[in-house]
Amino acid sequence: MSILLLGFEPGTLSDEQLDRVRAAAPDMQVLVTRDRDQIEAMLDEIEIVAGGFPHDLLPQAHNLRWLQQWGAGADWLLRYPEAVDLDFMLTNASGVHPIPIGEHILAFLLAFARGLHQATCAQVRREWIPQGQHEDVFELAGKTMLLVGVGAIGERTAELATALGMRVLGMRRDPAVGAPGVEAMVGPDQLLELLPEADFLVLTVPLTHETQGMIGEQELRAMKPTAYIVNIGRGGTIQERVLIRALEEKWIAGAGLDVFETEPLPDDSPLWAMENVIITSHYAGLTPLYHERAMEIFLDNLQRYQAGVPLRNVVDKRLGY
């Protein structure tokens, strides 16, 4: 009997969720574990994996046909390139994140617009800043957002931004595919043309060979000195040392960062002490509904797999998303 491995610590999934998985795959043995020794012992029988799995064991999982990862990003393929040519289908949890991440992006924007990052620091110091000294406060209505990467998260973000009266521009690999609320869509070759228009540059792209280090000195110098950059995708899409210089030398006004080249962010990073930077510790996608939403995606795909029809959220392993 083939094994359907749920790569979770015991207790992560409810009994009701486990019962639904078993009901959807009655011909398979459903096991829940993240223990490496147990996984190695059953490698030859594993046909489906959902959740965590040791990526270095993939070449030895000869009967693996489908891996449903529990997150959206597949940048682990950059560290395990041998997995690209292996004969298994990879799907992700795209669709779980648009609501929490869209709200996280909006929180960054509102914090900068209303000076909340400065107010929080002043509160810690018990310092009352007179109204007349809040010269940097502004309105989001009428500002321009440039979304780099307009997938499900980008589309939700565009919806929120337009509801606030913002103008939204977008960049995606295939600019022929539009999105509601996005006034104009361009390809990567036109990014530099749009950067001078952006009051907020928002990065939602995955980390791939194409996007690694895509925001460097040329891009940051093309931005307005009053513009902000927000990154909730992957830290490696920005050349971090260049970003630090841009913030120190005021090429741009500030940055809202949830992701970094090295995580956790090292103690000696200059970003920690910058008053024009808001740091969150890679939790933009967190929501109490995460497992519930991811499980619905997996169960739908499991029914599709059993029926022999195309799955949702298939990742092109060569492109990395």
3-state secondary structure 264-298: CCCCCCHHHHCCCEEECCCCCCCCCCHHHHHHHHH
With 0-12 / 13-18 / 19 or more C-beta atoms within 10 angstroms meaning exposed / middle / buried, residue 55 is: middle
Q: Give CA angle at 8 (105, 284), nearest 5°.
A: 5
Q: 104 an active-site residue? A: no
| 29 and 136 both lie in a single domain | no
Is 313 among the domain residues? no
Residue 97 is among the residues annotated as catalytic for this protein: no
Task: Give yes or no: 117 in active site.
Answer: no
The answer to whether the beta carbons of residues 270 and 241 sit under 8 Å apart is no
- For residue 7, the cross-strand partners are 51
The pLDDT score that the predictor gives to residue 121 is 94
Same domain, 106 and 146: yes
Rounded to 10 degrees, what is the CA torsion of 259, 264, 267, 270?
-10
Distance CA 67, CA 127 (A): 53
For residue 30, which of 40, 13, 71 has the smallest C-alpha distance? 13
Same domain membership, residue 115 and residue 19: no
Q: How many structural domains are present in the chain? A: 2
Say if 21 falls within a structural domain.
yes
59 and 140 part of one domain: no
- pLDDT the model gives residue 270: 98
Residue 93 confidence (pLDDT): 96
Expressed as residue numbers, the domain containing 60 is: 3-96+288-307
Q: Does residue 189 belong to any structural domain of this protein? A: yes
Q: Please tell me the predicted confidence (pLDDT) of residue 58.
A: 98
Identify the CATH number of the domain in which residue 46 sits.
Answer: 3.40.50.720
Q: Residue 62 carries which side chain, given as an amino acid letter?
A: H
Residue in 114, 245, 282, 293 annotated catalytic: 282
Beta partners for 279? 257
Ranges in the chain, pLDDT < 70 = none
Residues 182 and 294 in one domain: no
Q: Identify the active-site residue in 263, 275, 292, 318.
A: 263
Shared domain check, 107 and 91: no
Is position 295 within any domain? yes
Handedness of CA 11, 16, 19, 25 (dihedral sign): negative
Residue 257 is predicted with a pLDDT of 98
Q: Which of 97, 117, 156, 234 is catalytic?
A: 234
Residue labelled with tokens 């001078």: 196
Residue 250 covered by a domain:
yes
Whether 196 and 266 map to the same domain: the answer is yes
Percent of the chain whose pLDDT exceeds 90: 99
